[in-house]
Amino acid sequence: MTHITPKAPDSIPELAPVLKMVEAAMGFVPNSMLTMAHWPELMTSFSAFAGPVLNSGSIDPGLKQLIAFVVSNAAGCRYCQAHTSHSAQNRGVSPEKIEAAFEFRTSDLFTQAEKAALDVALHAGMVPNAVEAAHMEKLSEFYSEREIVEIVAVISLFGFLNRWNDTMASTLEETPKSFAANKLAGHGWQAGKHG
């Protein structure tokens, strides 16, 4: 059960433009954002940061969602695992590739460049952070410094979201919950304390 009740969208008309944009992109408004809406400036600032991180730049948006999925899996945030796997599919990532993200290192579905990015995400999601120079050197074989900044921004965004949603015990919405229950259950995902 969530620790802070999400605001009802109709109770925050000043945030309606942001909520409308999020709903258009995701198909629903996440409870995490409705909880942030208790502090409207936080939700507005978060949206202004998250939007460009996830929706601009040169890194493929589907890969960004896979990076977010892998870092959220490493951190153990079931809420974010459900969101990012569902968003990955919405960004054109095949269900097979989403399921294979648990074994990305050995899967032929991933390029060497994708494996390098997901390996950094996996190690960055560990506590303490386990990224080593070798991980970054491998990443730099495939990505420019600008693209590496983009990848680390996605990882960092989900570092915030993983902590936010696990701490707040955000209630998982039906759409990503159903997706994760159907697509990730074979890998041990289940709705529970963190989702």
- Integer Cα distance of 184 and 17 in angstroms: 33
Residue 1 has a pLDDT of 85
- DSSP label at residue 6: P
* 44 token code pair: 């507005």
Task: Please indicate whether residue 53 or residue 192 has the higher confidence score (pLDDT).
Answer: 53
pLDDT for residue 191 is more than 90: no
**Can you read off the two tokens belonging to residue 25?**
């992109």
| Tokens read off for 162 | 């993983």
Which class for 58: exposed (0-12), middle (13-18), buried (19 or more C-beta within 10 A)? exposed
Q: What length does the chain have?
A: 195
Contact 47, 40 (CB under 8 A): no
Mean pLDDT, to the nearest integer, of 147-174? 97
Per-residue pLDDT reduced to its tens digit, 34-65: 999 999 999 999 999 999 999 999 999 999 99
Running DSSP on this structure, what letter comes out for residue 103?
G
- Report the pLDDT averaged over residues 63-78: 97
C-alpha 175/C-alpha 90 separation (Å) is: 12
**Superfamily of structural domain 61-187:** AhpD-like (1.20.1290.10)
For the chain, the domains span 61-187
Kindly indicate the confidence band of residue 186, based on its pLDDT and cuts at 50, 70 and 90. confident
- What DSSP assignment string belongs to 112-153? HHHHHHHHHHHHHTSSS----HHHHHHHHTTS-HHHHHHHHH
Report the mean per-residue pLDDT for the chain.
95
Examine the pLDDT at 194 and tell me if it is beyond 80: no
User: Is a pLDDT exceeding 70 seen at residue 15?
Assistant: yes
End-to-end alpha-carbon separation of the chain, Å? 10
Is the per-residue pLDDT at 190 higher than 70?
A: yes
Confidence bin at 100 (pLDDT 50/70/90): very high
Question: Quick check: 195 pLDDT over 70?
Answer: no
Cβ atoms 124, 151 nearer than 8 A: no
- Provide the sign of the torsion angle of the four alpha carbons 10, 11, 15, 18, taken in this order: negative
Burial class (CB in 10 A: 0-12, 13-18, 19+), 57: middle
pLDDT of residue 164 exceeding 70: yes
Residue range 21-34, pLDDT digits in tens: 999 989 999 999 99
